[in-house]
Structure 1
Amino acid sequence: MKVVVMISAIAEWKAVKEIFPSLVVAPSAYGDTAKLTLGGFELNLLHSGWGKIASAGAIQYVIDHDRPGLIVNLGTCGGFSGVTELGDILLVERTFIYDIVELIGAPNIMDYYASTLDLGWLAEPHPYPVRRGILASADSDLPPEKISYLKSLGAIAGDWESGALAWVAKKNAARLLILRGVSDLVSETGGEAYDNLSLYEERTKVIMQTLFDQLPGWLGSVNI
C-alpha cells in the first residue's frame, strides 16, 4: 500500500525535519518531499503548506500524481478549552469550514463544504487512545468570539486545513486519515499560544513526535 503523509504548517514540517534529521528533502510542485521508512512502512512525506488553498491543491496533486492507497495528514490543532485537553490526539471524523461569508441568499454553503470521513477501513479498537470528533477549519486562527458558536455546531477543535483536505478526498473517493494533536487551548476569552510562537513551536515538536511514534500502529490497523 502506497502511503503519502501530508504535513501542513511550517512549524510542523520544521519539527519533522528535527525529529528525522537524516531526511533527504527534495522539491515538488507543492512543497518539500522526503521518503521515510518507519516501523516497516515506506512513507512519502509532503510539506503541503498551510491553509485551504495549498491543502486543496496539494491533496489533488497527490491523488493524481502518486495515486496512494492512503493519505495521512498529521498535525496540530487548537482545542476548545473545557472540551479537550492539551496533548489530546484527535481522530477527525467530520469537518466543516466556518469562514465562508454569503450575503446574497444562496443555499447553505457551510453544509456544501462539510465532509464526513469514511473510516470504515480502520480497524477497531484503535491502537492508541484518541478523541473522535468534528474539526472546524478556516484560514484563520480560532477567533475567541466564535468558540461558543463552533461548539454549538459540535466541533471540539479547529485548524486551517482539515476541511479542505477532507472535501477534496471525498470528491475523489480517496482514503484519508487525519490525526491532529491539541497543541494549544482556546477559550471564549483568548488562546494560550496567541502572540507566543515559541510556545506553539515547542508544543508542536512534542505533538509531531507522538504522532510519528504512533503512526505505524495506525497503519497496521488499516484493512483494505
Structure 2
Amino acid sequence: MNTVVIVSANAEWRVVKELYPNLEIKNSPYGEYADLKLDSRHLILFHGGWGKISAAATAQYVIDHFKPDLLVNLGTCGGFAGRIETGTVILVERTLVYDIIEQMGDGAEAIEHYASSLDLSWLPANLPDSTLRGLLVSADRDIVVEDIPMLIEKFDAVAADWESGAIAWVAKKNGTRLLILRAVSDLVGGDGGEAYGNLELFHERTKTVMRDLFQRLPSWLNSIKK
C-alpha cells in the first residue's frame, strides 16, 4: 500500500526529523519530503506546511505526484478546556472550516460547502488504540477565546487546528482515503491558552505528541482492511 504521511506545522516537522535523523531529505516546490521504512512498511513523509493554503496545495501535490492509496495526516491540535484532555488522540471523522464570514448570503451554507465527512469504513470496528472519534474544526488562526462558546454551541466542537479541514476537502475531491490523527497539545479556555505566550511549552508538547503518534502509526496501518 502506497502511503504518504503529511506533517503540517513547522514545529511538527522538526520533531519528525529529530525522530528519524537519518532521513534523506528531498525538496519539492512546497516543502521537504523523505522516504521512511517504518517496521516493514515504506512510507513517504511530506512537510505540508501550516495553514489552509499550504495544506490544500500540498495535499493536491502529494496526490498528483505520489498517487497514494492512503493519505495520513499526523499532528497537534488545541483543545477546549473542560471538554477534552491534553494528550487525547482524535480520529477525525468530520472536518469543517469555521473562519468563513459570508455577509451576502448564507454563512452556514458556505461553511457546509467546505465541510467534509471522512469515509472510514476501511478501518476495523475495533480500533488499535484508544482514540476519540469526532469532529475537528479548522481556521487560519489559533483558537480565540471568544469563539469557543460559538464553536461548542453550533458544532459541539472539542478541539481545533489549522489544516485538517483543507486536507480533508482535497482528499475527498480526489477520492483518496484519508486518516487524520491529531493529538491535543494544549488547552484553551476562559483564561486564555496555556501555550499562548509560551512557545517553549508548545514545542515540548509537540515533541510528545509526534513521538506518540508515530509510535501508534504501525498498529493503525496494520489494522487497515485492504
Query: If the length of structure 1 is used for normalisation, what is the TM-score?
Result: 0.98
Q: Find the partner of 2:196 among 171, 194, 197.
A: 194
- Provide the secondary structure at the position in 1 that maps to 2:158: strand
CA contact (8 A) 1:72 1:176 kept: yes
Aligned to 2:145: 144
| Residue 149 of structure 1: how far off its partner (Å) | 1.0
Asked if 1:17 corresponds to 2:14, the answer is no
- Provide the secondary structure at the position in 2 that maps to 1:181: strand
Alignment of 1:46-125 (within 5 A): 46-106=46-106, 108-125=109-126
Aligned to 2:130: 129
Aligned to 1:208: 210
Work out the CA distance in 2 between the residues paired with 1:41 and 1:7.
18
- Provide the secondary structure at the position in 1 that maps to 2:180: strand
- Two-structure CA RMSD over aligned residues (Å): 0.9
Work out the CA distance in 1 between the residues paired with 2:49 and 2:200.
19
Work out the CA distance in 2 between the residues paired with 1:193 and 1:156.
17
| Residue 144 of structure 1: how far off its partner (Å) | 0.6
Q: Find the partner of 1:155 among 137, 154, 157.
A: 157
| Residue 24 of structure 1: how far off its partner (Å) | 1.2
Aligned to 2:176: 174
Deviates more, 1:145-154 or 1:65-74: 145-154
- Provide the secondary structure at the position in 1 that maps to 2:216: helix
Structure 2 unmatched ranges of 5 or more: none
Q: Deviations over 1:67-112 (max 9, x none)?
A: 1100000000001111110111110000110111111124620011
Off by >2 Å, runs of 4+ in structure 1: none
Work out the CA distance in 2 between the residues paired with 1:13 and 1:210.
14
Count of matched residue positions in the alignment of Structure 1 and Structure 2 = 224
CA contact (8 A) 1:91 1:133 kept: yes
